[in-house]
Structures are given as structure tokens and as C-alpha cells.
């Protein structure tokens, strides 16, 4: 009976858009000590919520979240790779071109729970999360048998690559766990490590978030360290570089249509003129809203600097009067950088 229910659950999950589904137990995650060490070394940067006592206790033991939990259903929803969509002048992580998954996936998980309750004929205590709960998601995904944790820290499936959004449903229901994924298919490949422009990928399959472009453009609410700005290219929200170079993503297929791009960015110069009202309206259903206008324009300013475009100087000059101090500071830096690059190289003295 349990296997029949599990099979039905996985089929329903696929119908709802979850390409992969696996079941694991609520036992403590196997790599929790790695997470503890990562925190101790300060690699989480300003994400203090990760280091709270309550958060750590819940990540160490899923039953702290739901004491009645007997099974954890791990789900993966695909989104399109950058090669399958257009790119504007400014780069945005591929998952963020469409609607915000935080707004989409919970409704699907709720529908899946209702289906499970119909199958068993009674209500089931449950909790569900998608990148919002105190869970070591990739650890659970590996233990649920749907992939492994790559050197770039991304979850990778050997048939579909790494362009996935993970979700988890904690259930007060006994389901037979799937065998864990134990093979490391990264082998000797180091393409992601070599490609990272800020050298944030560490040898133990963790990252120094304080150097990661995704962290710098999304999570960091303060000034971007000056020594990293030149290395960020034209990324204005997130980064896909370590996934773009991963050989396993040659198998990446089409993403869920709801995460396909709803439009493209304007030029970076035009983006820098956006008002708070325009920002809130344009990105109200997008993950980009997390940065707020000030963070977004900070990122746009850095990207503009890295284009070296002299035509950006007038709009950067206007940004010196922006209402946000952070935007003004980055604009001042960008103007100086563009002007320095434009200066003709001074000839060296004649060699004797």
C-alpha cells in the first residue's frame, strides 16, 4: 500500500510541474557539521538568520520543525538555462526572469498535500518550504536520491543538470525512503571553480558567500566591497556562471513555463533612471523585488561601470543626487572608474 501511495504521489508531483521527486527520512542531515564549520568561518556574511540558535537547531534535526514528521518529500522544479532565453544588457540569474517561485510553488505543494490526504483518507500534519525554511535542502535532496551536491554547491541531477528550484514537504506519513544518491559525478572537473570571477567556490563544496556575486547582488544590503566590484561583470541580480560552465547542464531541458521571461531589461542606462514606483510596479511579481530599488540601482551602477561606456557618465552624474546614499556612493566610484579607463595610456620614456 505504501509503495502504491508513493508512486501516486510522485506521478501527481510530475503533473504539478515537479520534474523530480524523492522521499527521505527526517533523520539529521549528513553534512550538518559542514554547515556548522561554514558558519564558524563567517562565510555566511550578513545572513545572520542562518546563525541563530533556533535556526541551527532546526537545520540539525528536521523533527524540530515538525515533531510528527515521518517522511520528507523532496521536489525539484526546472527553470530554463541562460542558453535557452534572451539576455539584456544587464545579466539576471536565469531563475529570476519569470515569476517569483516563492509565490508559485507553495500553491502547488498545497495541492499535492491535499492529494496525499485524499489518498490516505484523512488529514496529515505537514509543513512545506521552498528556500524559506531552516532546512539543508541539498542534503535532503541527495539523501532522497534525486541528485548530488556539486563542487559549485549546486544540486545536480545526472539527466537534467542543475537548473532547479528545490522544495520540501514534511509529512506525518510513513513512506518508504528512496536510496540516497551516493555517486559523485563531478570527478576531477574544476570548471566551475576556475570560471568563478570572484574566487568564491571553496574546496569543500561550500562557497564564501561574502565573495559570491549572487550574495553581493541580492543578500548584501550594504555597499559592495570596492575590491570585488570590477569582478562582477554586468550581473545585476544573481549569477549563473558556475552553472553555465558545468558539463552536466548540457542535459538541461526546458524550464517550467511560469518561470520563462516576462520581458527584458531596458538598457542599463535606462534602468538607472527607474523611480521607486516604477520599480515596485515592474518587479512586483519578480524575485528582483527583494533587492528593493536602492539595491537594484547599486547593482546597475556597478554593471554600468564594468561596461566602461562613456555614454553612461551623464546618467551616473544624475545618480550623484539620488535619494539613496548607497546609490550615490557607487555612482561616484563608477564615474571615477570609467574616466580612469578612458584616459589615454601615457607613453613610457624612451628606452636607452
In the set 103, 131, 184, 222, the catalytic residue is 131
Specify whether the CB–CB gap between 69 and 212 falls below 8 A. no
- Assigned C-alpha cell, 10: 510522485
Q: Is 240 helix (H, G, I), strand (E, B) or coil?
A: coil
**Whole-angstrom distance, CA of residue 127 vs CA of residue 106:** 10
- In whole angstroms, how far apart are CA 49 and each of 32, 52, 154, 199? 16, 6, 21, 24
Specify whether the CB–CB gap between 316 and 332 falls below 8 A. no
Specify whether the CB–CB gap between 259 and 101 falls below 8 A. yes
**Whole-angstrom distance, CA of residue 226 vs CA of residue 211:** 12
**Whole-angstrom distance, CA of residue 240 vs CA of residue 82:** 8
Q: Is 131 a catalytic residue?
A: yes
Nearest by Cα to 254 from 104, 98, 84: 84
List all residues 6 or more positions away from 55 whose beta carbon is below 8 Å from its beta carbon: 49, 134
Active site residues: 131
Amino acid at each position: 500500500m505504501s509503495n502504491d501511495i508513493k508512486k501516486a504521489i510522485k506521478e501527481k508531483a510530475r503533473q504539478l510541474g515537479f520534474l523530480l521527486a524523492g522521499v527521505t527520512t527526517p533523520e539529521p542531515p549528513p553534512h550538518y557539521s559542514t554547515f556548522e564549520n561554514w558558519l564558524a568561518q563567517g562565510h555566511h556574511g550578513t545572513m545572520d538568520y542562518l546563525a541563530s540558535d533556533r535556526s541551527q537547531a532546526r537545520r540539525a534535526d528536521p523533527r524540530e520543525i515538525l515533531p510528527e514528521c515521518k517522511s520528507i518529500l523532496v521536489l525539484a522544479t526546472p527553470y530554463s538555462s541562460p542558453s535557452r532565453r534572451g539576455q539584456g544588457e544587464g545579466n539576471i540569474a536565469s531563475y529570476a526572469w519569470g515569476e517569483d517561485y516563492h509565490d508559485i510553488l507553495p500553491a502547488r505543494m498545497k495541492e499535492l498535500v491535499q492529494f496525499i490526504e485524499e489518498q490516505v483518507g484523512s488529514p496529515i500534519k505537514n509543513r512545506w518550504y521552498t528556500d524559506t525554511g531552516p532546512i539543508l535542502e541539498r542534503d535532503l535532496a541527495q539523501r532522497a536520491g534525486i541528485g548530488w551536491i556539486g563542487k559549485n554547491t549546486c544540486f545536480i541531477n545526472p539527466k537534467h543538470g542543475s537548473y532547479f528550484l528545490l522544495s520540501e514537504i514534511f509529512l506525518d506519513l510513513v513512506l518508504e525512503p528512496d536510496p540516497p544518491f551516493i555517486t559523485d559525478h563531478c570527478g576531477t572537473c574544476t570548471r566551475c571553480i576556475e570560471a568563478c570571477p570572484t574566487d568564491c567556490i571553496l574546496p569543500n563544496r561550500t562557497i564564501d558567500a561574502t565573495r559570491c556575486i549572487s550574495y553581493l547582488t541580492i543578500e548584501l544590503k550594504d555597499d559592495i566591497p570596492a575590491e570585488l566590484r570590477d569582478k562582477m561583470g554586468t550581473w545585476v541580480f544573481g549569477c549563473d556562471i558556475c552553472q553555465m560552465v558545468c558539463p552536466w547542464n548540457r542535459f538541461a531541458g526546458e524550464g517550467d513555463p511560469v518561470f520563462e521571461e516576462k520581458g527584458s531589461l531596458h538598457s542599463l542606462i535606462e534602468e538607472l533612471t527607474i523611480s521607486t514606483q516604477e520599480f515596485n510596479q515592474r518587479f512586483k511579481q519578480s524575485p528582483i523585488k527583494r533587492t528593493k530599488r536602492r539595491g537594484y540601482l547599486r547593482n546597475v551602477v556597478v554593471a554600468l561601470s564594468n561596461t566602461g561606456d562613456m555614454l553612461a557618465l551623464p546618467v551616473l552624474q544624475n545618480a550623484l543626487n539620488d535619494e539613496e546614499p548607497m546609490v550615490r556612493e557607487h555612482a561616484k566610484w563608477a564615474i571615477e572608474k570609467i574616466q580612469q579607463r578612458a584616459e589615454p595610456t601615457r607613453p613610457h620614456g624612451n628606452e636607452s
